[in-house]
Structure 1
């Protein structure tokens, strides 16, 4: 995507709130006009008072302070101040409304987009990178819109109006003000460019320090065990020393900006004070107008500095928008939905000459054939990288086959609605996933219309009801974000109960008993057997002792079926499965 296009594309979101945006801009212009009028009105008051007081001192007949005129000017000043405050508050209110509504729509589109992306996308992108696009990138865009949009309008309008006012008051003195503007801008830009590399390095070193602290706190016991406290402390000292040096350089160089800008302003003040003073003495300039010039010099410094600093913010927003729109432009799962899935699915599965490759030219599965009858238990074993998970990914349509076909009850799964098709599956994975909610809601995730009684029955069937009732709050106990307030085995039993509640026709089980004690392993195996009754089941097996009752065991290697059969027949064949089995149970036997 071309960089210049991202802000134009962002307008497609902002334009839905153009009424609020128009009000924000109009009110901001109003507040800028009122702000620029302040020195002029005060100048009129000072000129009037000076003129009247001078006439009274000189003894001019009838000389007096024109209180009505002064009161009128002060009234105008008060009304101006009121409009300024209304404009400032109103512009901030409406820009916040427009920007936050826009960001809400952007986040909503990202959320919906992610749900339509294929699983292959998440296999190719890091979780942290995706999380960053949802959080920090969106927040960067939000801050840029919230802070920069009105500030740019404020800065540009202020500079235009100030130039107009000083030209109106005195064209000769206006030259000093106008010349000071590019000098101020170029000076600020020069200093900003010099400090920017140090701020980037500062961010990197700060990230290194945060990563180091997190890593050492996480592995604190290991550091203590191997006596690495001193080495860890020295490494941390090196990082903090570098951070101190970078912080100093960044702060020192950026800190020069204000003194330099003040020096430019002071020189401009000096010129205007001397030149303007001479003009006042010569009667060519009212003293109030001289005061206005001084205030206008103050007013041009801040907008120029603002415009300089906003350049970096807008560049960051541009980069963040590119990353966000990259996600929104990703290819979605194709909707090839022609056949209707029978509600009374039997669970007959056929792999018919299936080919598959993740990367073009590098086939993983070739001419794979398998016939699974309804209610059968199929165990899949093999070394790492044999293709076990790939087979499940194809069955679930997380990936589509590149050759051949997979059918369920005679339907090519590529012609079925993914949502309807996947609703017939239940999955119990090795990494049990629960989300931050009550236990009851986590179980109901399997079937959203399930009643409380049905949830309890499913928990009883999964041998987890008693455990749940011993927890504080029982079924209403809230799981924390990492689900770390219960054990791994207990989480596994909850996911089995969730699958039972969903009542799927086909099961996929990634055996997850390797990290639990023997008693809990028996409970999980018992719950799994109950779950598999009457259902077609595919079991990725890690412990071969758990699949001895399988109707068919597939031994995979490099995407091919090396052996298949029952546990007894494969042992008798004394092939690859026999070697795997003996490597696990040789000691016991």
Structure 2
């Protein structure tokens, strides 16, 4: 359910820990009460002591200092201080429990949501920007709640309790302070209204900064290769200048709140001293209560100033939670399941009048039709942008077709759950991806219950077992974060072994040999010839040497099949495929 209210968004997570939250608030309540009665208790001692001294100065018979009264006031004052310290500690303890659990749930929900968001969302948004919502934005919310929530509650309760005490002591003098409070509030609210858009712009700029840094580190070698260090630095400086500009506006405007509120507080303090002093001289206000009122001015002004100080972090947190909910409110991939594979999948795949467009009114694939029989190896070739990878994305349901249908064993894949559909596929991408961990853990990623023997057999089938055993630690060698401790071609071999271990019914190779040298390519081709038997296989390749044994070759251009057949028949046609083949093998 979407909501625009920041408090409602936060409460959706904090409510699960309302026991700890309300216990923390109760202790804040006691702590504030102990703080508010402090001036009053000191006032009792001061009033009693001043009265005793005046009587002694006047020579009243039997006059003296009432030590018993002052002693018990001081005892109560000490007990008040102990209770205040205990409740302050307890309130921080319980709010920490609530906030940290809430932040954990928030992060878990973001990750869960990210796994359900359509792939198109990642095509539209910078990776670093998305990463910033999981890291810096969540941390901003956590810090605001952990450090600011109790202070806000404390400030509000202080204002309420102090107002009640002042009205009880002298309502006429209290009116002066009470009038100043809405004035301070209106000043603070006006400043917040001016600064909030800049805090939103600051959060967005920080997201762009994270995205740029992530991309720069990922492509660091390319930047060095093309000597783009200086331009990259200029681009970074431009982003940081934008961040500095909006950050300055946000911080400056929110920083103006405290001095403006302080002006109101100082004027109030001066009026209280003048009016209170006159009332004391007239005998209508005790000296102790005048002292209490002067302290209450600070106890009222300090919470208002505190709220003004916290406006910056609170506005940053407000912008952050809105950015987080931009992810949480994203529509998930539709997953209406009305069918399932009742028997073992054979791998019969058909594209029936398929049309697709990434952008409305800009069709990429139109009326696409092809039938792939079980066990066939289908190669897809064509120029960049022809629709080769898009065809695979549609088959894997990373995107859904605009019109027509794709069927596996006669079942429309839109009627299947994505999990069940994708469990039938093994996929090796052009960009080899391995995570930080051992080689054995990386190979087992596609089949978590695989035994060590199965892992070794898959590695042997992919002709990578010998290479693994030459590494320090063998199958237990740890990959670093970027997998840079092995070559790109070796990474590709490992991803192929990982796909083979999952024993898929349908195999997809998207430029799987593009990063492998000729010798390794020959080893892979031999392994693939054996392992593709009985599996439906889709191979996307620019190297025509890797697909000459394909049962069917689809030549695509502008989202259409312009030629199809096996290697020999396509060469005989002397069309697009023939020209492509000649350009690769007969350059002379």
Scaled by the length of structure 1, the TM-score of the pair is 0.86
CA gap 1:313/1:226 in 2 versus in 1, 3 angstroms:
closer
Distance 1:414 1:211 in 2: 33
Q: Which residue of the partner structure matches residue 25 of structure 2?
A: 25
Q: Which residue of the partner structure matches residue 342 of structure 1?
A: 343
CA gap 1:40/1:98 in 2 versus in 1, 3 angstroms:
same
CA gap 1:158/1:169 in 2 versus in 1, 3 angstroms:
same
Asked if the contact 1:366–1:560 (Cα under 8 Å) also holds between the matched residues in 2, the reply is yes
Q: Which residue of the partner structure matches residue 171 of structure 2?
A: 171
Distance 1:584 1:216 in 2: 34
Asked if the contact 2:128–2:214 (Cα under 8 Å) also holds between the matched residues in 1, the reply is no
Scaled by the length of structure 2, the TM-score of the pair is 0.86
Per-residue CA deviations over 1:332-366 (Å, capped at 9, x if unaligned) read 322223233423x3323233343434455544333
Equivalent residues, number: 586
Distance 2:234 2:560 in 1: 53
Asked if the contact 1:341–1:421 (Cα under 8 Å) also holds between the matched residues in 2, the reply is no
Farther off after superposition, 471-480 or 451-460: 471-480
CA RMSD of aligned residues (A): 3.7
CA gap 1:223/1:543 in 2 versus in 1, 3 angstroms:
closer
Distance 2:206 2:455 in 1: 48
Farther off after superposition, 478-487 or 7-16: 7-16
CA gap 1:410/1:267 in 2 versus in 1, 3 angstroms:
closer
Q: Which residue of the partner structure matches residue 491 of structure 1?
A: 491
The SS at the match of 1:49 is helix
Farther off after superposition, 132-141 or 236-245: 236-245
Q: Which residue of the partner structure matches residue 95 of structure 1?
A: 95
Per-residue CA deviations over 1:489-534 (Å, capped at 9, x if unaligned) read 1111111111121111210001233344444444444444444243
What is the CA-CA distance between 1:110 and the residue it aligns to?
A: 3.0
Q: Which residue of the partner structure matches residue 181 of structure 1?
A: 181
Farther off after superposition, 260-269 or 171-180: 260-269
Asked if the contact 1:39–1:291 (Cα under 8 Å) also holds between the matched residues in 2, the reply is yes
Asked if the contact 1:341–1:416 (Cα under 8 Å) also holds between the matched residues in 2, the reply is no
Distance 1:385 1:419 in 2: 28
Distance 2:156 2:533 in 1: 73
The SS at the match of 2:479 is coil
Asked if the contact 1:510–1:540 (Cα under 8 Å) also holds between the matched residues in 2, the reply is yes
Q: Which residue of the partner structure matches residue 291 of structure 1?
A: 291
Asked if the contact 1:216–1:223 (Cα under 8 Å) also holds between the matched residues in 2, the reply is no
Asked if the contact 1:508–1:537 (Cα under 8 Å) also holds between the matched residues in 2, the reply is yes
Per-residue CA deviations over 1:364-415 (Å, capped at 9, x if unaligned) read 3333332323322111001122121122122223333344433333433333
What is the CA-CA distance between 1:162 and the residue it aligns to?
A: 1.3
Distance 1:558 1:366 in 2: 9
What is the CA-CA distance between 1:166 and the residue it aligns to?
A: 1.7
1:389 correspondence with 2:389: yes
Q: Which residue of the partner structure matches residue 471 of structure 2?
A: 471
CA gap 1:234/1:190 in 2 versus in 1, 3 angstroms:
same
Distance 2:360 2:195 in 1: 47
Per-residue CA deviations over 1:156-197 (Å, capped at 9, x if unaligned) read 221121122122222333233223334444455566677778
CA gap 1:194/1:433 in 2 versus in 1, 3 angstroms:
same
What is the CA-CA distance between 1:555 and the residue it aligns to?
A: 0.4
1:584 correspondence with 2:588: no
Q: Which residue of the partner structure matches residue 510 of structure 1?
A: 510
Within 5 Å, give how 1:523-538 maps onto structure 2.
523-538=523-538
CA gap 1:350/1:359 in 2 versus in 1, 3 angstroms:
same
Q: Which residue of the partner structure matches residue 156 of structure 2?
A: 156
Asked if the contact 1:511–1:542 (Cα under 8 Å) also holds between the matched residues in 2, the reply is yes
Distance 1:61 1:540 in 2: 111
Asked if the contact 1:435–1:479 (Cα under 8 Å) also holds between the matched residues in 2, the reply is yes
Within 5 Å, give how 1:309-388 maps onto structure 2.
309-310=309-310, 313-329=313-329, 330-343=331-344, 345-359=345-359, 361-388=361-388
Any unmatched runs of 5+ in structure 2?
Answer: none
Distance 1:367 1:323 in 2: 39
Asked if the contact 1:571–1:577 (Cα under 8 Å) also holds between the matched residues in 2, the reply is yes
Distance 1:447 1:310 in 2: 50
Distance 1:201 1:378 in 2: 49
The SS at the match of 2:285 is coil
What is the CA-CA distance between 1:293 and the residue it aligns to?
A: 1.3
1:48 correspondence with 2:48: yes
CA gap 1:226/1:484 in 2 versus in 1, 3 angstroms:
closer
Per-residue CA deviations over 1:410-431 (Å, capped at 9, x if unaligned) read 4333333332232121111101
